[in-house]
């Protein structure tokens, strides 16, 4: 059975039921693509970047110090400044390699869905040093980048035009931080679709290909070469130095990057907020492959729930923060959503859930990229369901 998360801190959120007629999908109209030297598109052909795999229109990368690499040896840490905003974040190079995924049967707190242990190989990628913060996320979700341009009377460039045409959420009914803090704090309560769409928008803004990690990439990066229950060892008494969880979080998430990092320089991989990965949550997934080493595995989602999240949160006990711990999403995570049909963008009851981004060294082809992309049919159906309510 999928793991079910029942928050110990019950947040009684009453979402206003007025104004439901205003519910709709904020999609900027289709536009003409940037010039050929700025994007991989036919400049004469209108297109909708939400409906196309990102790699089909990915622009030439904007210059950023140390962000370019052709080989794993050339990969360096770099800072991505989201163009046209004050938001920035750090990316950490993660070397490719093999590891044993899952947990041994004698690991304290182990669940059956963490076995059998198996060898996995992943290719090199960069990963966000920290979880995506509200400072970054709201540039897309609230359209703050557009509002800033308008306030300063700055004309959009080709990258802006491309990014502006990526679908954005409807406005939320309530403060989605639930009073826990915004500047420097992790963004929460987004669906996996929202997290994927943010990555698509970020790719358009920067010209670098960003996406969510796979479950295997996430555990590989979390372990950082270790084989213990946590990236710092098996001693749970050390957890306070590395993670925010139920015993020390004061019933809320905390600013990112305030605890010790793991051996590869990643912060909050244990705790603070759980993190979306790309995979469907399949409890017995690890026993299905018969090959000796599984290369770049991905359980491609077939149903909306359960989908996989990793890392544990501020609202969890220590065992849920272990490197191998897994969890599947449930319908209860949007139980208080008043929309009919329920929003594809928000999880009203997932105050423990966020995400971080990765950037693979090798950009996939369009066919492979489709496996990582937001489900366009879901966006289209949602828009049609709310037709006339916008």
Instruction: Name the CATH topology of 20-385.
Output: 3.90.1580
Burial of 127 (0-12, 13-18, 19+ CB in 10 A): buried
Query: Taking the model in full, what pTM does it have?
Result: 0.89
The pLDDT mean for the chain works out to: 89
Q: What per-residue confidence (pLDDT) applies to 19?
A: 30
Q: Give the CB-side neighbour count of residue 335, counting CA atoms within 13 A.
A: 14
| Confidence grade of residue 338 (pLDDT, cut at 50, 70, 90) | confident
CA atoms of 344 and 155, how far apart (whole Å): 31
CA atoms of 216 and 214, how far apart (whole Å): 5
Q: What's the mean pLDDT in 89-117? A: 98
Query: Residue written as tokens 């990112």?
Result: 256
Judged against a pLDDT cut of 60, whether residue 35 lies above it is answered with: no
| Confidence grade of residue 20 (pLDDT, cut at 50, 70, 90) | very low
| Confidence grade of residue 174 (pLDDT, cut at 50, 70, 90) | confident
Q: What's the mean pLDDT in 244-271? A: 98
Percentage of residues in the chain having pLDDT higher than 90: 82
CA atoms of 315 and 277, how far apart (whole Å): 19
Q: What's the mean pLDDT in 58-82? A: 98
CA atoms of 278 and 230, how far apart (whole Å): 22
**pLDDT, tens digit, for every residue of 221-243?**
999 999 999 999 999 999 999 99
Answer whether 374's CB lies under 8 Å from 69's CB: no
Q: What's the mean pLDDT in 47-66? A: 96
Q: What's the mean pLDDT in 377-385? A: 89
Bridge-based pairing of strands 274-280 and 353-354 is parallel
Judged against a pLDDT cut of 50, whether residue 214 lies above it is answered with: yes
**pLDDT, tens digit, for every residue of 299-328?**
999 999 999 999 999 999 999 999 999 999
Judged against a pLDDT cut of 70, whether residue 350 lies above it is answered with: yes
The token duo for 300 is 């491609």
Q: What per-residue confidence (pLDDT) applies to 12?
A: 37
Q: What per-residue confidence (pLDDT) applies to 46?
A: 63
Q: What's the mean pLDDT in 119-131? A: 98
Around Cβ 115, how many Cβ atoms within 10 Å?
18
Q: What per-residue confidence (pLDDT) applies to 266?
A: 99
| Confidence grade of residue 339 (pLDDT, cut at 50, 70, 90) | confident
């Amino acid at each position: 059975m999928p793991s079910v998360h029942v928050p110990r801190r019950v947040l009684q959120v009453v979402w206003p039921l007025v104004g439901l007629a205003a519910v709709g999908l904020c999609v900027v109209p289709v536009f003409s693509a940037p010039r050929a030297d700025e994007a991989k598109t036919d400049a004469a052909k209108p297109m909708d970047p939400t409906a196309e795999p990102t790699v089909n229109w990915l622009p030439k990368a904007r210059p950023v110090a140390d962000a370019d690499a052709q080989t794993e040896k050339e990969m360096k840490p770099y800072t991505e400044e989201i163009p046209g905003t004050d938001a920035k974040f750090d990316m950490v190079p993660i070397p490719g390699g093999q590891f044993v995924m899952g947990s041994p049967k004698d690991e304290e707190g182990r669940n059956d869905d963490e076995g059998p242990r198996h060898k996995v190989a992943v290719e090199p990628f960069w990963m966000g040093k920290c979880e995506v913060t509200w400072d970054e996320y709201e540039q897309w979700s609230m359209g703050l980048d557009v509002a800033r341009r308008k306030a300063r009377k700055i004309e959009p460039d080709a990258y802006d035009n491309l990014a502006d045409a990526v679908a954005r959420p409807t406005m939320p009914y309530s403060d989605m931080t639930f009073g826990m803090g915004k500047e420097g704090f992790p963004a929460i309560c987004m669906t996996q679709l929202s997290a994927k769409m943010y990555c698509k928008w970020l790719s358009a803004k920067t010209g670098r290909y960003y996406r969510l990690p796979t479950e295997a990439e996430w555990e590989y990066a979390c372990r950082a070469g270790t084989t213990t229950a946590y990236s710092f060892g098996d001693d749970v008494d050390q957890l306070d130095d590395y993670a925010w969880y139920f015993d020390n979080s004061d019933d809320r998430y905390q600013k990112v990057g305030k605890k010790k990092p793991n051996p590869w320089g990643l912060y909050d991989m244990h705790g603070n907020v759980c993190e979306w990965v790309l995979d469907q949550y399949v409890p017995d997934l690890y026993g299905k492959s018969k090959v000796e080493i599984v290369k770049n595995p991905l359980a491609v989602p077939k149903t909306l729930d359960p989908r996989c999240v990793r890392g544990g949160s501020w609202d969890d006990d220590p065992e849920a923060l272990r490197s191998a711990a897994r969890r599947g999403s449930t319908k209860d995570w949007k139980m208080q959503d008043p929309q009919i049909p329920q929003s594809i963008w928000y999880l009203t009851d997932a105050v423990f859930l966020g995400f971080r981004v990765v950037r693979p060294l090798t950009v996939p082809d369009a066919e492979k990229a489709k496996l990582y992309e937001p489900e366009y049919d879901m966006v289209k159906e949602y828009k049609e369901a709310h037709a006339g309510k916008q």
